Structure 1
Amino acid sequence: MSIRVPPAYSYIYGSEYQDVNGIFPGKHDHNVPCAVCYTSTKSVKLMIPAKISCPSSWTREYKGYLMADKYNHARNAVYECVDEAPESIAGSHTNVNGALFYFIRTTCIGLPCPPYVVDRVITCVVCTK
C-alpha cells in the first residue's frame, strides 16, 4: 500500500491597505493595484526610506510611505514605497485579509534616535537616474 501525498501548492493573494490611520482616507481594506515604475530614458531606480527628496542629479518619480506586511506575519519580507496619493481597485473594499499593507513605523531599536522619532510612519521616495 502506498501513501498518496497531495501536491504542495503556493497561492497568490490580493493585497489590502490596513490601518490607514487617516493617512489614506477611505482606503482601509481596499485592494492595492499592481504597479511598475518604468521610464524609457533612465536606467536606474532607487527607493530611499525615511526621505522625501532625491540626491542631486536624480529625478523624483514619487514620494510616499513605506509599507509591508505586519512584523509578525509569516510573509513579512518586502518593503514597498506606496505613493502618497494611493490608488485602489474600484469596488474592492471587502475585508478578505490576503496580503496586508501596513505603514512601517520607527523604533529606536537599532535606529539612531534622533534623527528618528519613536512610532512615526516612515516616508520614502522613488528616484531615477
Structure 2
Amino acid sequence: MYLQRLGILENLVHQQAETIKQQSDTISNLTSKLSVLQDSIGSAFVHWGRSDCQSKDTELVYSGFVGGGHYNETGASPEFVCLPTDPKLRETTGGYDYGRMYGAEYGTNFWGQHPNPINNELPCAVCRSQRTSTTIMIPGKDTCQTGWKIEYHGYLGSSHHSHTSGSMYICVDINHQSVPGGGSRYDGGKRVVNVVAECGSLQCPPYTNGDSFSCVVCSK
C-alpha cells in the first residue's frame, strides 16, 4: 500500500514539475514579446534649436533647420516646421497662387547661451523617445511632473507681438545651436523671440510681468 501511495505521489510531483515548466516557458515567452512591444512603442517630438537628440533612450529621426511663413505677410502660416536637409521638391510651372516657406532666424540676442545669436538660423531635429506614448511641452516650467521623463528644457519662443503674422509657441533648447554656415545677416523670414508674461488677463502672481517663460518637453 505504501509503495502504491509513493507511486501516486511521484506521479503528482512529476505532473506539477511539468506544469511549472510549461508556466515558466509561457512567462519567458510573454516577457520576450513584452520587450519587443516596449521597444516598438515611442512618441515623437521636435527638438527646436538643436540638430540632435540628447536625452537617454531617444533616437534621431532626421535633423534639419526651422522654417515657416514670413513675419510680415498677412497670409503666412503661423506654424513652425522642421525642414529636412535633403528635400525632394516638385518643379512648378508659374502662377502666383501659392504659399511661401522661409527659414527662421533668432530675432534677439536673448538666446544668450551662445554669443550674438540674432539673425542666425535655427536648427531642429525630429526625435523619437523610446518606450513612451505621450510627449508634451509645458510652458513656464523647466522640470517635468513626477513619473515623466525630461527630453529637454529651454525658453518659450514665438514671433514678435507686433508682427503681422502670428505664430505658434515652441520650446527652444537652452543650449541652442545655430545652423552652420547660416551667418548672422538679416534675411527676413520667420523670426523667433522670447516670450514674456503680460499681467492683466494673465494672473499675477503666480506669474511676474515682463519675466521670460521657461519651457520643458516631457514624455511618458
Give me the TM-score of the superposition, normalised by structure 1: 0.88
Q: Which residue is 1:3 aligned to? A: none
Describe the SS at the equivalent of 2:191: strand
Q: Which residue is 2:198 aligned to? A: 107
Q: Is the 8 A contact 1:29 1:94 kept in 2?
A: yes
- Following superposition, the deviation at residue 94 of structure 1 comes to 1.7
1:88 and 2:178 equivalent?
yes
2-structure distance, mates of 1:15, 1:22: 14
Q: Give the alignment of 1:1-129 within 5 angstroms.
A: 6-21=95-110, 23-24=112-113, 25-92=115-182, 93-129=184-220
**Letter paired with 2:129:** T
Q: Is the 8 A contact 2:106 2:122 kept in 1?
A: yes
Q: Deviations over 1:70-126 (max 9, x none)?
A: 122233121000000011101212210210000001110211111111111110000
Describe the SS at the equivalent of 1:38: strand
1-structure distance, mates of 2:111, 2:218: 26
2-structure distance, mates of 1:80, 1:57: 23
Q: How many residues align?
A: 124
Query: In percent, how many aligned pairs have the same letter?
Result: 34
Give me the TM-score of the superposition, normalised by structure 2: 0.53
2-structure distance, mates of 1:107, 1:98: 26
**Letter paired with 1:16:** E
**Letter paired with 2:109:** V
Q: Deviations over 1:26-76 (max 9, x none)?
A: 211100113223213211101000001101000011110000111222331
CA RMSD of aligned residues (A): 1.4
1-structure distance, mates of 2:164, 2:207: 27
Q: Is the 8 A contact 1:20 1:103 kept in 2?
A: no
2-structure distance, mates of 1:104, 1:38: 27
The structure showing larger relative contact order (alpha-carbon pairs under 8 Å, at least 6 residues apart) is 1
**Letter paired with 2:155:** Y
